[in-house]
Amino acid sequence: MKTSRRSFLATSAVAATAFSVFPGLTVTGKTIPHLPASRMKLSFEPFNLALKHQFTLSGSSRSTTPVMLIKIDYEGITGYGEASMPPYLGESHQTASEFLAQVDLTQFNSPFLIEEVRDYLEQLAPGNPAAKASIDIALHDLTGKLMGQPWHKIWGLDPGKTPNTSFTIGIDTPEVVKAKTREASAYKILKVKLGRDNDREMIQAVRFISQVPIGVDVNQGWTDRDKALELIFWLKEQGVILIEQPMPKDRIEDNAWLTERSPLPIYGDEAIQHLPDVVRFQGVYHGINIKLMKCGGMSEAFLMAQTAKSLGMKVMFGCMTETSCAISAAAQLSPMAETADLDGNLLITNDPFTGVEIKNGKIALNDFPGIGVKKIV
Amino acid sequence: MKTSRRSFLATSAVAATAFSVFPGLTVTGKTIPHLPASRMKLSFEPFNLALKHQFTLSGSSRSTTPVMLIKIDYEGITGYGEASMPPYLGESHQTASEFLAQVDLTQFNSPFLIEEVRDYLEQLAPGNPAAKASIDIALHDLTGKLMGQPWHKIWGLDPGKTPNTSFTIGIDTPEVVKAKTREASAYKILKVKLGRDNDREMIQAVRFISQVPIGVDVNQGWTDRDKALELIFWLKEQGVILIEQPMPKDRIEDNAWLTERSPLPIYGDEAIQHLPDVVRFQGVYHGINIKLMKCGGMSEAFLMAQTAKSLGMKVMFGCMTETSCAISAAAQLSPMAETADLDGNLLITNDPFTGVEIKNGKIALNDFPGIGVKKIV
């Protein structure tokens, strides 16, 4: 475990803490005398998530996911963040450690300067979206706590409008798929991974057990657009309600061709990383799947969702395998979405946080300030 | 004066006020017991701004501007808002009164539900952007006060990065232009209105007095693109640094043709109202002029600015003739902009608010929560 502890406690006096605990005092318009500037302290810890089931995509299998758990301390308050780094996306404990070790937050005199920090992180190094997201999440947690409000509230969203979350069924044999589907009986929607050579078999195995709506995630696995369209019409008859990233992300024409003809909404996932991608892929996809670990954090995710909605595109929030930390951060945004696939924390056995819950299949936000999590280990 | 007062004070007990004054207490993660739900109370008052100078655009002149001053009371806290309605834009004391009288905020159990209120206002009636902006501004003021923070801070912006504001010189005779330019000696940039038949004369009159950079606002006044381009090259030699809305907004090809060839950045103003316009006019203009009274409020303005920046477009914040209320609201966003033209409150003699100040030509944000204003009359 690598941490970047600095001589912090000495400067974080009781007076400074009291100041931040009562921000409401400024409501009266009184100016509060300036206290000596406090500094943010970033620390991080590599962690391995243990998966309940081996996880199979159209390209790989694994039984653990490396994450980096981070915290930012400021005036006695701790903001939690997380980077989840499935190996196929290129980040790792090593890349995240190297990146985070370079990050110097002491140059910012307030955790509220999130836009400045975002610019700084971009200048520090390209890429590293999950490591960047971990800082963005921790700053949101911290500033939400300093304001005494959860971020869904600060963003003006209605916590009553959260969507159901889907529960993910990975690619496997019919018997395993049936077993997983039985386990998922609490969920109102299932996400089924397709894109190998057993697509119809997968759906039939799920339908043998359950009749709930299905979202299909192809992860770029289809290569023939005519066959893909034919399969989509068949999937619609099976009660499938949406298709994610049907064809490789660089085959823009083929994805647009499918979107134009598909009887089901087509969502871009791998193709959509940052805000400009939303604009660029208008017309290519009906909707977008936003993930904090792709886009670099909550600020960017909020802008992507609002821009997509404004352009008439559908919005979904997705995740990697993550603890309740990153999942609860994404859940703050979920009232903006038609659909969510925020089940990453439900697929692991060693979650060090509690946070957002799923009640009757629906995302249930709590009232805790920040991202709404508590550390339990 | 029309108000929509309701029996509000009875439900706004001391306990409820105390609750909102100390939102910071939730920092500890403690759940605070629910108090009886309070309701928002909206009231509004027509007001006429007295202009220091008669105001001339390429299409009209006037010496007053009608505005609507509004407030939303909630748990003993007041949020202030304003609709400014220059007659040529179609809103008036009558249209705003009719619209605001229909607005029922008692259906929302929290002023934080800004996105819900925005959807509700859109469904209530189309248009009415200034009246809608007044509610959006008041809700931001109110929620910022409830969180004890100014909105520039909540948005993660750096108050040290505010731009200079320009001071506007309307179309007039050379002698009046010279006199106005002398009065504007405190400003680091001037905005000069062009688009009549005396464009060169206007610039020469300003240059007779001052050598500061000039932003030129044509207000769609040029109709021949070749002559416009020739004039822009001449203006560049005169120290002009940007051109706003050179040609009519519906002549998209002509504006794009100019943007492609212009040695100065071209900003869309009348063409750019809402977020989708930013996307639509990528390539047609180098930048956008965002005004709260056009786009309907601070939430939309924030999204427009962030999206424009993300697409590589320049951002300016502009205004109508407004009190320090709406100007201070727009100023919260100004760290995102290269340029600002937030001088509307400097052009009137009866400002009922104090708020943002101009120090050495630069926008100086204060630390007051919400939009940073105080009512003085």
Contacts of A112 in chain B (CB under 8 A): 149, 153-154, 156
Chain A CB within 8 Å of residue B23 CB: yes
Query: Mutate which of A73, A112, A142, A152 to test chain B, going by most B C-beta atoms within 10 A?
Result: A112
Chain B CB within 8 Å of residue A157 CB: yes
CB contact under 8 A, B113 and A20: no
What is the pLDDT at residue B56? 64
Query: Mutate which of B17, B19, B26 to test chain A, going by most A C-beta atoms within 10 A?
Result: B26
Q: How far apart are CA A138 and CA A105, in angstroms?
A: 12
Q: Over range B87-99, report the average pLDDT.
A: 96
Query: Mutate which of A25, A31, A143, A147 to test chain B, going by most B C-beta atoms within 10 A?
Result: A147
What part of A 344-363 touches B (C-beta under 8 Å)? none
For the ranges B10-19, B30-39, B105-114, B315-324, the lowest mean pLDDT is seen at B10-19
Determine the residue of chain B that is closest to A308 in CA distance.
B276
The C-alpha of B134 sits at a distance from chain A's nearest C-alpha, in angstroms, of: 16
3-state secondary structure of A229: helix
Q: Is B4 within a domain?
A: no
- Same domain? For B123 and B234 the reply is no
Instruction: Name the token pair of B260.
Output: 């492609």
- Same domain? For B277 and B221 the reply is yes
Contacts of A374 in chain B (CB under 8 A): 29
Could you report the per-residue pLDDT of B19-39, keeping only the tens digit for each?
333 333 333 444 445 555 689
The range of the structural domain enclosing residue B200 comes to 153-375
* C-alpha distance from residue B216 to each of B170, B245, B248, B340 (Å): 11, 9, 15, 13
Nearest to B156 among A21, A112, A374 (CB): A112
Q: Is A3 within a domain?
A: no
What is the pLDDT at residue B59? 59
Chain B CB within 8 Å of residue A303 CB: yes
Q: Is B124 within a domain?
A: yes
Last residue of a domain, one of A148, A175, A204: A148
Contacts of A336 in chain B (CB under 8 A): 115
The C-alpha of B372 sits at a distance from chain A's nearest C-alpha, in angstroms, of: 9
The C-alpha of A325 sits at a distance from chain B's nearest C-alpha, in angstroms, of: 15
Give the other-Cβ count within 10 Å of A226's Cβ: 11
Query: Mutate which of A17, A26, A303 to test chain B, going by most B C-beta atoms within 10 A?
Result: A26
CB contact under 8 A, B279 and A279: yes
- Same domain? For B198 and B118 the reply is no
Chain B CB within 8 Å of residue A311 CB: yes
Determine the residue of chain B that is closest to A313 in CA distance.
B276
**Bridge pairing between strands B314-317 and B287-290:** parallel
Q: How far apart are CA A242 and CA A266, in angstroms?
A: 6
- Same domain? For A222 and A368 the reply is yes
- Same domain? For B116 and B205 the reply is no
Q: Is B54 within a domain?
A: yes
Nearest to A77 among B27, B147, B299 (CB): B27
Cβ within 8 Å of residue B123, ≥6 positions away: none
What is the pLDDT at residue A61? 73
What is the pLDDT at residue A37? 64
> Are residues A257 and A225 in contact, defined by beta-carbon separation less than 8 angstroms?
yes
> Are residues B239 and B211 in contact, defined by beta-carbon separation less than 8 angstroms?
yes
Strand partners, B164: B362
Q: Over range B132-154, report the average pLDDT.
A: 98
- Same domain? For A213 and A260 the reply is yes
Determine the residue of chain A that is closest to B142 in CA distance.
A27
Could you report the per-residue pLDDT of B168-188, keeping only the tens digit for each?
998 889 999 999 999 999 999
What is the pLDDT at residue B10? 29
- Same domain? For A63 and A117 the reply is yes
* C-alpha distance from residue A300 to each of A68, A289, A333, A372, B312 (Å): 20, 13, 11, 19, 15
In which residue are the tokens 């550390």 written? A375
CB contact under 8 A, A154 and B148: no
pLDDT above 70 for B57: no
What is the pLDDT at residue A114? 98
3-state secondary structure of B84: strand
Strand partners, A268: A288
For the ranges A148-152, A310-314, B54-58, B266-270, the lowest mean pLDDT is seen at B54-58
Q: Is B332 within a domain?
A: yes
- Same domain? For B139 and B157 the reply is no
Determine the residue of chain A that is closest to B111 in CA distance.
A156
Count of structural domains within chain A: 2
> Are residues A12 and A76 in contact, defined by beta-carbon separation less than 8 angstroms?
yes
- Same domain? For A138 and A200 the reply is no
ipTM of the prediction: 0.87
DSSP category for residue B10: G
Contacts of A368 in chain B (CB under 8 A): 26, 29
3-state secondary structure of A166: strand
Nearest to A310 among B27, B114, B276 (CB): B276
The C-alpha of A226 sits at a distance from chain B's nearest C-alpha, in angstroms, of: 32
Q: Is A1 within a domain?
A: no
CB contact under 8 A, B275 and A306: yes
Strand partners, A370: A150
Chain A CB within 8 Å of residue B116 CB: yes
Chain A CB within 8 Å of residue B368 CB: yes
- Same domain? For A166 and A279 the reply is yes
What is the pLDDT at residue A27? 36
What part of B 208-227 touches A (C-beta under 8 Å)? none
The C-alpha of B23 sits at a distance from chain A's nearest C-alpha, in angstroms, of: 5
- Using alpha carbons only, give the angle A55, A162, B113 rounded to the nearest 5 degrees: 145
Last residue of a domain, one of A131, A148, A165: A148
Give the other-Cβ count within 10 Å of B119's Cβ: 12
| CATH of residue A249 | 3.20.20.120
pTM given for the model: 0.88
- A137 φ, ψ to 5°? -65, -45
- Helix, strand, coil share of chain A (percent; to 5): 40, 25, 35
CB contact under 8 A, B154 and A146: no
- Taking chain A (377 residues) in runs of 10, the rounded mean pLDDT of each run is 31 31 37 64 97 70 92 97 95 98 96 98 97 98 98 98 94 93 95 95 97 97 98 98 98 98 98 97 98 98 98 97 98 97 94 97 97 95
Q: How far apart are CA A374 and CA B31, in angstroms?
A: 13
| CATH of residue B116 | 3.30.390.10
- Same domain? For A293 and A359 the reply is yes
What is the pLDDT at residue A15? 30
Helices (H) and strands (E) in chain A, counts: 13, 15
pLDDT above 50 for B130: yes
Q: How far apart are CA B73 and CA B41, in angstroms?
A: 5
In which residue are the tokens 């020739």 written? B230
* C-alpha distance from residue B123 to each of A161, B100, B117, B143 (Å): 18, 13, 10, 23
Instruction: Name the token pair of B354.
Output: 């104090």
Closest CA to B289 of B225, B227, B333: B333
CB contact under 8 A, A27 and B146: yes
Q: How many CB pairs under 8 A join A and B?
A: 145
Chain A CB within 8 Å of residue B311 CB: yes
- Same domain? For A364 and A319 the reply is yes
CB contact under 8 A, B147 and A155: no
CB contact under 8 A, B21 and A21: no
Q: Is B3 within a domain?
A: no
In which residue are the tokens 């959006």 written? B136
> Are residues A154 and B110 in contact, defined by beta-carbon separation less than 8 angstroms?
no
The C-alpha of A207 sits at a distance from chain B's nearest C-alpha, in angstroms, of: 37
In which residue are the tokens 């934080």 written? B112
Determine the residue of chain B that is closest to A21 in CA distance.
B24
Instruction: Name the token pair of A153.
Output: 């509230």
Q: Is B1 within a domain?
A: no
The C-alpha of B279 sits at a distance from chain A's nearest C-alpha, in angstroms, of: 7
Chain B CB within 8 Å of residue A275 CB: yes
Contacts of A117 in chain B (CB under 8 A): 156
Determine the residue of chain B that is closest to A118 in CA distance.
B156
Chain A CB within 8 Å of residue B26 CB: yes
Give the other-Cβ count within 10 Å of B3's Cβ: 14
* Cα atoms in the 13 Å half-sphere on the side-chain side of B114: 26
Q: How far is CA B218 from the centre of its chain?
A: 19
Last residue of a domain, one of A148, A183, A218: A148
Chain A CB within 8 Å of residue B20 CB: yes
Cβ within 8 Å of residue A253, ≥6 positions away: none
Closest CA to B178 of B204, B154, B199: B204
> Are residues A158 and B108 in contact, defined by beta-carbon separation less than 8 angstroms?
no
